[in-house]
Structure 1
Amino acid sequence: MTLATAFRLVITAVVAYLVADLLRGGPPPLLAPLTALLIVQVTLYQTLTSSIQRIASVTTGVILAVVIAGPLGFHWWTLGLVIALALLVGRLFKLGDHILEVPISAMLILQLGTESAALGRVVETLIGAGVGLISTLLTAPVKVKTAEDALRKLAMDMGQFLEDLADDLHLEPDHAHTTRWQGQAARLSEEARTVGARLGEADDSTRLNPRAYRIGGPSAALRTAMSTLEAATIKARGLARCMADRTYLYLRDGEGGLGTDMWATDVRQELGLTLRTLSRAVPLYAATATAASPESGRRLGQTTHELLVEARQHRERLGRLLRDDPGHWPLHGELLVHLDRILDSLAPAELGFRPVMY
């Protein structure tokens, strides 16, 4: 929890208490600040949903306690009946995380045993929910920039991963290299899932939020780039696996075996150039999707396109070299397919920026 979030929760709870105390008087209305704390979520949409569920759960519990225990009195079996009905009604109303609020509210009213206590509990809940909603309306952030920052970081990390692969090809790879490649690729996939969650948070933060009309929500380019890079991390993981398989075969065969040409010097050099050029294109692709202006987007998209053209030229030369080693065409084909899929997916035209063709 950030310091700003903690400060907002404290202010919201105190204001809810003061408002309830002013309107009701009597014993300290602690249910109002409690409700405000429980319903204030990160986004306005989540807060509204939580408020509705909490109000429904408290009101339902109070009504059940008054209707059942009022005429029948408080006994062990009425307690069990109220709890059972409360859970059933909460499930029918799909109250989610607030389902236990129904029996809890009912039991509190059973303990107090007065209709005024029941009414007071509902009123305090409404006050706390109202203050929480107003607080969120005034302070809830639009989290589009957070999603854009997460996308750019993922692109930088993927670019660094491809750069590291190229660096390792300076010498003949070994088992230490293959272990590091696959570990880095796995961490990249995990980060991509986190970045996808950030886009979901950005969507939620714009729902019903007045600031979204001024700032705007996630752009189509951001959504496309997020989906592209998430898929590209899977392809990069397949590339790392393929390079590991080639290394295992090379180390197994030694001199004179079928795998001796697998990591020949010219093959390593051309693959390294392909990866190194791609490592520069990936961050620029993300920068194109999150550009502050159309002009900046066109400039970044053009640079990305030119790097992809260069990378594809290196890939074509790599393909010609691998054709000289037909004994391992399945692994050669797999390597080239992974590279092609990454190259094809990063087209700036998919983001709405048409590069100039030379």
Structure 2
Amino acid sequence: MSYLDVVADALWPTRPTSWRELPARLIPVFGNIAKLTAASVAAYAITREVVDGPIDLTAALTAMLVMQASAARTVKKGLLRVVAVGSGVSLALGATYLFGMHWWSLALVVSCALVLAKILRLGDSALEMPISAMLILGQGTDVAAETRVVATLIGVTVGVLLPLVLPPSIPYRSAASAVRKVGADQRALLVKAADAMEQGPITRARVADWSDRARTLTGNIANAHDHVVKLTDVRKYNSRAMGRADIAPILTSGLHTLESCLLSLRWIFMAMEREVPAPMHPSLSNVTSRQPTVDDHAQAALAVVLRRFGECLQSFAAMVEAEANGNEEKAHEAFTKNYRRLRDARSDLSLLMDFQDPDSPQWLLRGGILPALDQALQQLDIDSRVRVRERWKASQLGRRLEKGQIGPRTNPLDRARHARMLARQLRRPAPPPTEEDFLDDDRDTQPIPVVTPEMLAAEPRPRRRLRKHRR
């Protein structure tokens, strides 16, 4: 690493790794700076046109503070910041009009502002009230109190309305990419474990390292969840969200599935770490009995299962991203293929375990790996995912996606009618099961006929034969 790289890492630890990522990282920052500058200048210009006489920078300061809250992309936090700024400015104006600028008046204003912030439950915006009050106190008493009140109202209005006129961009792509990255990271760990198992015998230290890496993947899921929450907050009262589908529910359901699969993956590694033979000290080789070794065929079969498990998770995450973009056909086919390959590999591993000697102390037979795989397969079920996708599309009917549209264009009245129809269908009793309900996606399961009480009543009963007892 060169000296310039060390300096760049110190100045910008999260700097992009390529020039292509630089515009995507810098454009939002400069856009936010431009909005804050425009809000301050606009508030000051409006104050000069409205107020006669000398003015100060109260409107510009208030607009900048409120714009910081609005740029945080949460309506609740922005309203709290508006209340904090308005209350702090009003408190400072009252103290300046009654007492003037003294050290004891400053202490009184700061203490009262903090107490009032606690009473109003402003949370993270609590410090904005004393900060705003001190900024107003520091400007002196040359400007009339009425002028400061008007300037404060102008700054609050500009700070709230400007984000509505120039709304921030909605991070659809970053949220979907964060979900896809979760599946890619899980696949990388599983492929690494499969490669190590195919090369030779594994040790407990290596399996413990895999388990630690799987534990760290929980942070990636939390990061992706934060991206989805940020997406939900930005869409609130954002004019750019009009006519666009809300992809947060479909991304959240995919994250829940990936999180459940990560728990199954951690359970597999924990079972392997618990049951793999521990290293033996050379001095105890003649005293203790030789520990059982891992069966080579079972280890190779498990390596195949882990590799296909990783491919299935990666294709599932890619399918979730494609669902959010509106082009999930190819991704669904790839996931279906990988899902069936994983199920076949699980069946091969189960058959291999069945042919093992039941008395042989194999760690694969005692590790509980098959139940963890069954749990993952249940979470990744194709039909369940299709049902989740169709319900989400029904709730977003007529809205646009990144690369498509969900159904024909509709107006709010049509969407309300469709929502009432769905609610009416959910209130209806479920139809009786048919033969199709018992068919798997591979059409190998034999159908079970439906037996109704009418069929049992219509079936002729066998007659009992009376035995003639001999006298």
| Bucket of the pairwise TM-score, normalised by the shorter protein | 0.7 to 0.9
Does the aligned pair in 1 maintain the 2:301–2:348 contact within 8 Å?
yes
Letter in 2 for 1:22: A
CA distance in 1: counterparts of 2:370 and 2:230, whole angstroms: 36
Does the aligned pair in 2 maintain the 1:221–1:289 contact within 8 Å?
yes
Does the aligned pair in 2 maintain the 1:39–1:132 contact within 8 Å?
no
Cα distance change, pair 183–326 in 1 and its aligned pair in 2 (3 A): same
- The answer for the alignment partner of 1:243 in structure 2 is 272
1:41 to 55, 71, 76: 71
What is the deviation of 1:163?
A: 1.6
Does the aligned pair in 1 maintain the 2:190–2:310 contact within 8 Å?
yes
Does the aligned pair in 1 maintain the 2:191–2:307 contact within 8 Å?
yes
CA distance in 1: counterparts of 2:271 and 2:285, whole angstroms: 19
Higher helix share: 1
Letter in 2 for 1:158: Q
Letter in 2 for 1:204: D
In the alignment, structure 1 residue 265 sits paired with structure 2 residue 350: no
CA distance in 2: counterparts of 1:258 and 1:18, whole angstroms: 81
Letter in 1 for 2:120: F
- The answer for the alignment partner of 1:228 in structure 2 is 257
- The answer for the alignment partner of 1:107 in structure 2 is 134
Of structures 1 and 2, the one scoring higher in RCO (CA 8 A, sep 6+) is: 1
CA distance in 1: counterparts of 2:62 and 2:103, whole angstroms: 29
CA distance in 2: counterparts of 1:17 and 1:72, whole angstroms: 29
What is the deviation of 1:130?
A: 3.2
2:305 to 267, 271, 274: 274
Deviation string 1:165-190 (CA, Å, 9 cap, x unpaired) is 11111200125522431332123222
* TM-score, length-scaled by structure 1: 0.84
What is the deviation of 1:119?
A: 1.8
In the alignment, structure 1 residue 337 sits paired with structure 2 residue 371: yes
In the alignment, structure 1 residue 159 sits paired with structure 2 residue 187: yes
What is the deviation of 1:246?
A: 2.6
DSSP 3-state at the match of 2:278: helix
CA distance in 1: counterparts of 2:233 and 2:153, whole angstroms: 29
| Structure 2: segments with no counterpart, 5+ residues | 1-13, 15-24, 49-54, 389-439, 444-471
Alignment of 1:107-146 (within 5 A): 107-111=134-138, 112-113=140-141, 114-116=144-146, 118-119=148-149, 121-123=151-153, 125-130=155-160, 132-134=162-164, 138-146=166-174
- The answer for the alignment partner of 1:95 in structure 2 is 122
Does the aligned pair in 2 maintain the 1:55–1:125 contact within 8 Å?
no
2:175 to 147, 150, 155: 147
Cα distance change, pair 247–336 in 1 and its aligned pair in 2 (3 A): same
DSSP 3-state at the match of 1:140: coil
1:191 to 203, 213, 220: 220
Does the aligned pair in 2 maintain the 1:274–1:311 contact within 8 Å?
yes
What is the deviation of 1:229?
A: 0.6
Deviation string 1:111-133 (CA, Å, 9 cap, x unpaired) is 42341463255135325413542
CA distance in 1: counterparts of 2:171 and 2:442, whole angstroms: 36
Cα distance change, pair 5–42 in 1 and its aligned pair in 2 (3 A): farther
- The answer for the alignment partner of 2:85 in structure 1 is 58
Cα distance change, pair 91–325 in 1 and its aligned pair in 2 (3 A): farther
- Size of the aligned set, in residue pairs, is 352
What is the deviation of 1:226?
A: 0.7
In the alignment, structure 1 residue 10 sits paired with structure 2 residue 44: no
Letter in 2 for 1:194: N
CA distance in 2: counterparts of 1:101 and 1:42, whole angstroms: 14
CA distance in 2: counterparts of 1:324 and 1:236, whole angstroms: 26
- The answer for the alignment partner of 2:61 in structure 1 is 31
Deviation string 1:239-273 (CA, Å, 9 cap, x unpaired) is 22222223343768989957414x11111111112
DSSP 3-state at the match of 1:217: coil
Letter in 2 for 1:31: L
In the alignment, structure 1 residue 81 sits paired with structure 2 residue 113: no
* TM-score, length-scaled by structure 2: 0.65
DSSP 3-state at the match of 1:232: helix
CA distance in 2: counterparts of 1:352 and 1:321, whole angstroms: 36
Cα distance change, pair 10–203 in 1 and its aligned pair in 2 (3 A): closer
Deviation string 1:194-251 (CA, Å, 9 cap, x unpaired) is 2222222222232222333433112644322210111222221222222222334376
Letter in 2 for 1:180: D
CA distance in 2: counterparts of 1:78 and 1:278, whole angstroms: 67
DSSP 3-state at the match of 1:249: coil
CA distance in 1: counterparts of 2:91 and 2:363, whole angstroms: 72
Report the structure number with the largest CA radius of gyration.
Answer: 2
Cα distance change, pair 12–269 in 1 and its aligned pair in 2 (3 A): same
CA distance in 2: counterparts of 1:356 and 1:330, whole angstroms: 29
